[in-house]
Amino acid sequence: MRALHVGLLLAVLAAKGTCVSPAAMARGSESTAFRRMNGGRRLRLQATASVSGSPGPDELLGRSSPAAIAYLGDAVFEAYVREHFLWPPRKLDALNDLARPLVRAEGQEAALARLIKDFGLSEEELDWARRGRNASGRGPSRVSAKTYKAATSFECLIGYLHLSDRARLVEVLDFVLQSRESVDGEQSP
């Protein structure tokens, strides 16, 4: 949150013709160092990243595109599915055969449909799913645009939950895997 305030303050000061570095912000002082180029004033602003390092979840959600949040959600979902199938021990080909249908676009589309129909997502969660759907492009030629948009929507929801509420993320992922098993008639591994 501090980084967001730093970024806003830097933008306001830039409009006034002042340059403030994050180090100066940490000290509570401001620097008016700038240079003139080509007869006009050009500001030398420092990066607006967090003073303490990487940004927090709120800043990531506020500054990242829904496509970037979906990118994260894709990785989180695939890791969760792979971990789910580790027990009982199986050969790698068997593990891959179990995980692939879930993590492909078609599996994610089905998971999103089950979540919307039976899980009871909050308005904010539905909003993040909508943002992911609207941010996706056409996708690969092997799947329809509708399927790809639904998969990106699901991934964006997972990415959002990973950053904002890990307990809710586990609830959602557990529901997705359990509802799939009940649909497929499989036993829980």
Q: Where are the beta strands (DSSP E) in 50-117?
A: none
Tokens linked to 108: 């994610």
Tokens linked to 147: 């399927």
The 3-class secondary structure across 127-145, one letter per residue, is HHHHHHHHHCCCCCCCCCH
Cβ–Cβ < 8 Å for 79, 69: no
Please identify which of the residues 58, 74, 118, 165 carries the catalytic annotation.
Answer: 74
DSSP state of 117: I
Angle (CA) 145-70-64 rounded to 5° is 125
Cβ–Cβ < 8 Å for 99, 78: yes
How far apart are the C-alpha atoms of 81 and 99, rounded to whole Å? 6
In the residue annotation, 74 being an active-site residue is answered as yes
Q: Of 137, 136, 171, whose CA–CA distance to 154 is shortest? A: 136
How far apart are the C-alpha atoms of 40 and 11, rounded to whole Å? 18
- The catalytic site residues sit at 74
